[in-house]
């Protein structure tokens, strides 16, 4: 089918990351295959060497990398989005999608490319894409070098009205700023919000400081053409180590990342087997091999893996595992 997306309409994928060196190459290799014009990664305060890995990728032209210094008390993702939008405007990008390193975009339309998703969405200013939560598939300890997509194939059956969250593909020029979930401060009147299936949605969420859901909930959640596989839990050890790193908003020292917490129970969904995304695995594997064939990239990834093994041994002592694995914990 003809592609109505104008040649001048460049589309970017953006992610704000900290200490995600274990997963960076798979995430980049997968999304390189979806047809984005660029991948922009913003790192902050990394201690595992993932900023060095991102820089090695940037030096080879695979991504754009910005290493930010987050002001005291600020949200890393919010300040990262400010930097991203500034860069995107300077380089005349039309569309942007911000997702995290534990989210993989799956387009079930046309050939599975970002241009296929945009085919029927040229009237849209915002396209909210729903999460599907994937659980730990019973994996206790992570083996560095393993594949997220191949390891975690258990998920919730479908999006849930009023519960499922979204990340937004949106027009850069039509908003002043954005959170990690959606754009804010429209520069146009009455922005058009369409689901990935081109169904109209309310734009009320665009006028709220913090919002991650769109109405009507039933229409927003029934989208079939695109979703975000959300691997928020991964293995038990990786989940518990989030207590040491903190979340994307810079929050630490609560019980959110405890086994048995309300958040863990909501995210750790192992209801059905879902291997749909693995249709992209052969191409992803080829791209991964290509990335790892560059010595500087391979060396930087190995450093991240070695850091993880040592840090896990230091952080996840038996006593601490027990302390963070209490069924009574609540987030």
Helix (H, G, I), strand (E, B) or coil at 60: coil
The mean pLDDT value for 203-209 works out to 93
Choice among 13-22, 177-186, 206-215, 305-314 with the minimum mean pLDDT? 206-215
pLDDT tens string 19-46: 999 999 999 999 999 999 999 999 999 9
Supply the pLDDT for residue 4: 53
Among residues of the chain, what percentage have pLDDT more than 70? 94
Of 284, 276, 237, 274, the residue nearest 26 (C-alpha) = 284
Is a pLDDT exceeding 80 seen at residue 6?
no
Is a pLDDT exceeding 50 seen at residue 331?
no
Is a pLDDT exceeding 60 seen at residue 253?
no
The mean pLDDT value for 135-158 works out to 98
Is a pLDDT exceeding 80 seen at residue 252?
no
Measured distance CA(85)–CA(107) in Å, rounded: 24
pLDDT tens string 94-139: 999 999 999 999 999 999 999 999 999 999 999 999 999 999 999 9
Q: Is 322 exposed, middle or buried (0-12, 13-18, 19+ CB in 10 A)?
A: exposed
Question: Do the domain assignments include residue 92?
Answer: yes
Measured distance CA(198)–CA(195) in Å, rounded: 5
Is a pLDDT exceeding 60 seen at residue 249?
no
When pLDDT is cut at 50, 70 and 90, the band that residue 57 belongs to is very high
Is a pLDDT exceeding 60 seen at residue 236?
yes
Of 198, 173, 167, 168, the residue nearest 186 (C-alpha) = 173
Q: What is the CATH number of the domain that holds 173?
A: 3.90.550
Question: Do the domain assignments include residue 81?
Answer: yes
The mean pLDDT value for 49-75 works out to 96
Question: Do the domain assignments include residue 313?
Answer: no
Question: Do the domain assignments include residue 5?
Answer: no
Token representation of residue 197: 């299936």
Supply the pLDDT for residue 1: 41
Is a pLDDT exceeding 70 seen at residue 268?
yes
Tokens 């992570």 sit on residue: 142
CA–chain centroid gap for 76, Å, is 14
Question: Do the domain assignments include residue 323?
Answer: no
Is a pLDDT exceeding 50 seen at residue 200?
yes
- Mean pLDDT of the residues in the chain: 93
Question: Do the domain assignments include residue 159?
Answer: yes
Please state the pTM of the whole predicted model.
0.94
Domain assignment of residue 19, given as a range: 11-234+270-297
The mean pLDDT value for 256-263 works out to 93
- Name residue 171's beta-bridge partners: 95
Question: Do the domain assignments include residue 241?
Answer: no
Give me the number of domains the chain comprises.
1
Is a pLDDT exceeding 50 seen at residue 330?
no
């Amino acid at each position: 089918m003809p592609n109505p997306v104008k040649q001048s309409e460049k589309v970017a994928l953006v992610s704000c990351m900290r200490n995600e060196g274990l997963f960076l190459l798979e995430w980049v290799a997968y999304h390189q295959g979806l047809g984005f014009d660029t991948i922009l990664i913003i790192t902050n305060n990394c201690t595992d060497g993932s900023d060095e890995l991102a820089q090695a990728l940037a030096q080879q032209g695979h991504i754009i990398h910005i290493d930010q210094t987050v002001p005291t008390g600020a949200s890393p993702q919010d300040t990262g989005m400010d930097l991203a939008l500034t860069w995107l405007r300077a380089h005349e990008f039309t569309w942007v999608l911000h997702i995290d390193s534990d989210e993989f975009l799956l387009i079930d339309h046309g050939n599975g490319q970002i241009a296929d998703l945009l085919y029927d969405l040229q009237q849209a200013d915002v396209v909210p894409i729903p999460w599907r939560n994937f659980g730990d598939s019973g994996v206790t300890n992570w083996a560095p070098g393993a594949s997220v997509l191949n390891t975690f194939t258990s998920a919730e059956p479908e999006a849930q009205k009023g519960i499922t969250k979204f990340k937004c593909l949106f027009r850069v020029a039509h908003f002043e700023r954005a959170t990690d979930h959606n754009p804010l401060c429209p520069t146009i009147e009455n922005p058009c919000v369409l689901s990935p299936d081109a169904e109209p949605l309310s734009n009320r969420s665009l006028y709220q400081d913090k919002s991650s859901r769109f109405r009507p909930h039933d229409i927003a959640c029934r989208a079939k053409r695109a979703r975000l596989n959300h691997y928020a839990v991964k293995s038990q050890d990786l989940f518990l180590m989030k207590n040491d790193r903190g979340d994307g908003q810079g929050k630490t020292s609560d019980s959110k990342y405890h086994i048995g917490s309300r958040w863990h129970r909501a995210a750790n969904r192992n209801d059905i087997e879902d291997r749909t995304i693995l249709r992209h695995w052969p191409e992803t594997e080829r791209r991964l091999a290509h990335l790892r064939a560059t010595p500087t990239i391979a060396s930087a990834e190995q450093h991240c893996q070695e850091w993880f093994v040592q840090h896990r041994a230091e952080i996840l002592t038996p006593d601490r595992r027990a302390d963070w694995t209490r069924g009574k914990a609540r987030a």
